[in-house]
């Protein structure tokens, strides 16, 4: 189910929403890099990253825009890989419009959770809220729609979720709230959902006022009072 054997042309035809999301992510990453750098606070803020913990409240459009921004290449690569491999079957099951609503609703809910549960000053970006919404939908299917999701795929999703939860907890300052928000939104929505499924063939970087980070052996270290949150 999660093995991608399609050509690029076939993939775009079968999964148009995911293809568009990945393209937007890539384009916005390029824009960030050309505009000062995807790890720079000022650049992220200017292009729509979420923020909280201060006296100023974020504009509503940031709850959507931040889903398409990524902090560094590895952040982009990991989220794009998850979308490319794991979200594709769900788009085929739901159809493009229902999947688009699912993804956006989960991402927005993840940002809402992150905003209200963070008490420190932070700036955040990433697609993980939407991605964990996809995982939440799969968990619902594995529990209540066994006719749609086969046993091997259910085991794969369970393993991914366990790894994701452990990673979110033990790795310092990964945005657990955004992950939790996207995941919980899908579980509760599906509990009273009329979705028609059809079976078809963070790491935290503490940044100085100038936007630079101190990194020791590849791991971000505390270096200031303003924090950048990976989702």
Average pLDDT over residues 5-14: 92
- Is residue 76 within 8 A of residue 25, CB to CB? The reply is yes
Euclidean distance between CA atoms 177 and 193, whole angstroms:
23
Domains of the chain: 8-230 (1.20.1540.10)
**pLDDT digit string (tens) for 49-99?**
988 876 678 899 999 999 999 999 988 998 999 999 999 989 998 899 999
Which residues on neighbouring strands pair with residue 50, listed in sequence order? Answer: 124
Instruction: Give the pTM.
Output: 0.77
**pLDDT digit string (tens) for 123-137?**
888 888 898 888 888
Instruction: Just list the catalytic residues.
Output: 128, 179
Question: Mean of the per-residue pLDDT values for the chain?
Answer: 77
Distance of CA 23 to the CA centre of its chain: 15
If one compares 61 and 110, the residue with the highest pLDDT of the two is 61
Question: Hey, which bits of 16-67 come out as E strands?
Answer: 50-52
Would you state the pLDDT for residue 55?
A: 66
Would you state the pLDDT for residue 203?
A: 36
Average pLDDT over residues 194-221: 39
């Amino acid at each position: 189910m999660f093995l991608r054997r399609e050509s690029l042309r076939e993939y775009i035809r079968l999964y148009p929403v995911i293809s568009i999301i990945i393209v937007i992510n890539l384009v916005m990453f390029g824009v960030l890099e050309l505009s000062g750098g995807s790890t720079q606070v000022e650049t992220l803020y200017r292009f729509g990253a979420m923020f909280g913990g201060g006296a100023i409240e974020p504009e509503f459009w940031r709850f959507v825009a931040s889903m398409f921004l990524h902090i560094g290449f590895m952040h982009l690569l990991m989220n794009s890989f998850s979308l490319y491999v794991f979200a594709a079957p769900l788009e085929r099951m739901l159809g493009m419009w229902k999947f688009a609503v699912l993804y956006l609703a989960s991402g927005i809910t993840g940002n809402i959770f992150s905003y209200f549960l963070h008490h420190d000053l932070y700036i955040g970006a990433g697609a993980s809220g939407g991605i964990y919404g996809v995982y939440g939908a799969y968990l619902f299917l594995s529990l209540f729609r066994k006719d749609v999701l086969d046993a091997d795929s259910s085991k794969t999703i369970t393993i991914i979720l366990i790894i994701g939860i452990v990673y979110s907890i033990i790795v310092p300052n990964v945005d657990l709230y955004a992950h939790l928000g996207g995941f919980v939104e899908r579980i509760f929505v599906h509990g009273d959902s009329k979705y028609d499924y059809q079976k078809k063939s963070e790491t935290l970087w503490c940044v100085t006022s100038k936007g630079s980070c101190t990194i020791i052996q590849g791991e971000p270290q505390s270096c200031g009072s303003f924090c950048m949150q990976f989702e």
